[in-house]
């Protein structure tokens, strides 16, 4: 039973990392692109890096939402199906 709970915890961290990865990658890539642009043009405006990141992350979350919901529902279904194995 302890090994099942540990495996469930590891699986929970994996699914959290998998679901957050698209937004984090897009934010990182847009931030890198904006910082290169700011370094070459010597424009130091805070909103120049903040606004494109927000827009990019929102767009990627909207585009990947069906996949995310499918992953979350599969994970929730597997947890619900495991409930009888935890009761002794």
Query: Which tens digit of pLDDT belongs to each residue from 69-82?
Result: 999 999 999 999 98
* Higher pLDDT pick, 5 / 21: 21
DSSP letters for the chain: -HHHHHHHHHHHHHHHHHHHHHHHHHHHHHHHHHHHHHHHHT---HHHHHHHHHHHHHHHHHHHHHHHHHHHHHHHHHHHHHHHHH--
Query: What is residue 47's predicted lDDT score, i.e. its pLDDT?
Result: 80
In a domain, 74, yes or no: yes
Q: Which residue has the higher pLDDT, 1 or 8?
A: 8
- Kindly state whether residue 36 falls inside one of the protein's structural domains: yes
| Residues 27 and 53 sit within 8 Å (Cβ to Cβ) | yes
Number of domains in the chain: 1
Residue 54 in any domain: the answer is yes
Task: Please count the other Cβ atoms lying within 10 Å of the Cβ belonging to residue 68.
Answer: 16
pLDDT tens for 19-71 read: 999 999 999 999 999 999 988 988 888 788 889 999 999 999 999 999 999 99
Instruction: Tell me, yes or no, whether 21 lies in a domain.
Output: yes
Domain residues for the domain of 41 are 2-80
Is the pLDDT confidence value at 88 over 70?
A: no
Residue 87 scores a pLDDT above 80: no
Task: Say if 87 falls within a structural domain.
Answer: no
Q: Give the model's pLDDT for residue 21.
A: 96
């Amino acid at each position: 039973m302890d090994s099942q709970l540990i495996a469930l915890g590891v699986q929970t961290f994996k699914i959290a990392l998998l679901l957050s990865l698209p937004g984090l990658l897009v934010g990182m890539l847009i931030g890198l692109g904006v910082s290169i642009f700011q370094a070459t043009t010597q424009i130091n405006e805070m909103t120049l890096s903040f606004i494109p990141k927000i827009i990019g992350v929102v767009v990627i979350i909207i585009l990947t939402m069906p996949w995310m919901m499918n992953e979350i529902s599969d994970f929730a279904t597997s947890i619900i199906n495991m409930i009888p194995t935890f009761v002794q």
